[in-house]
Amino acid sequence: MQFRPNDRVSIDLGSDGVAQVRLTRPDKMNALDPEMFARLVEAGQALHEMKGLRVVVLSGDGRAFCAGLDLSNFAKPPDPDAPQLTDRTHGNANLFQQVAVQWRKLPVPVIAAVHGICFGGGLQIASGADIRVIAPDTRLAIMEMKWGLVPDMGGYALWRGLVRDDVLRELVYTNREFTGEEAKEYGLATHVDADPLARATAIAGEIADRSPHAIRGAKRLAAAMIDRTTDEILVEESIEQHKVMRTANQIEAVMAGMEKRRAKFADV
């Protein structure tokens, strides 16, 4: 299955349930212009509704994952009819925040494969993934302060629990560039790999071989863990376990493990 909205984003869903989602504006290093914002949200909506989806791998074509905002947009006058940034147009988010936080909202795991350049909004998009695999020589920065702006694409919500507070403050206040190796040290990279797309795809394959119902339940628990109380988390664990225990997929996981074969799971 393929999804190609207007040469900004593509989705290729494989038979294993792994969707390769690519930013496809390589001539501009996948910089974010209004069309890219719109197509990314459209892609997120398509993924929400996609049958047989188990994992998403998010990457960028060309020399960069995403160079952040397309600076040519600064020269354009604002649209007086556009929603205000404070308007919640996408649930709890505005359009620009949705582009990054929608990956956390997806019911399946998302793995970002990051290479080349990952600045500003691009870094906030990558931060929305469950797992980030970053090439060691990638150039990254929380870039907004360079332009007199603050990070406002969901970064502060997504970095919570990833980056130590004082490190995050320094990266924001100075917009200092750092490498993929440093990103691992700071908590922004899960793995550092010279071929991040291959590593991300391999991890996605492992996840796709697990029960899709259990994986989705685990992602819901991971989201709940951030801001729920201990008592609430304990209840949520029990609820999610009750949903999957003794179901066909859970029994298949046990049987496949005992018989040392690949499981055949029913999709959600």
Mean pLDDT across 134-160: 97
Listing DSSP states for 112-151 in one string gives EEE-SEEETHHHHHHHTSSEEEE-TT-EEE--GGGGT---
Cβ 9 vs Cβ 46: under 8 Å: no
End-to-end CA distance of the chain: 17
Q: What's the distance, CA 8 to chain centroid?
A: 17
pLDDT of residue 205: 98
Helices 212-227, 230-244: axis angle to 10 degrees equals 170
Domains of the chain: 2-208 (3.90.226.10), 212-259 (1.10.12.10)
pLDDT of residue 60: 98
Where residue 75 falls among pLDDT bands split at 50, 70, 90?
A: low
The percent of residues above 70 in pLDDT, for the chain, comes to 97
Read off the pLDDT of residues 13-63 as tens digits, 9 standing for 90 and up: 999 999 999 999 999 999 999 999 999 999 999 999 999 999 999 999 999
Read off the pLDDT of residues 150-208 as tens digits, 9 standing for 90 and up: 999 999 999 999 999 999 999 999 999 999 999 999 999 999 999 999 999 999 999 99
Query: Considering just the CA atoms, what is the radius of gyration of the chain in Å?
Result: 19
On the question of pLDDT at 5 being above 70, the answer is: no
pLDDT of residue 6: 62
What's this model's pTM, rounded to 2 decimal places?
A: 0.95
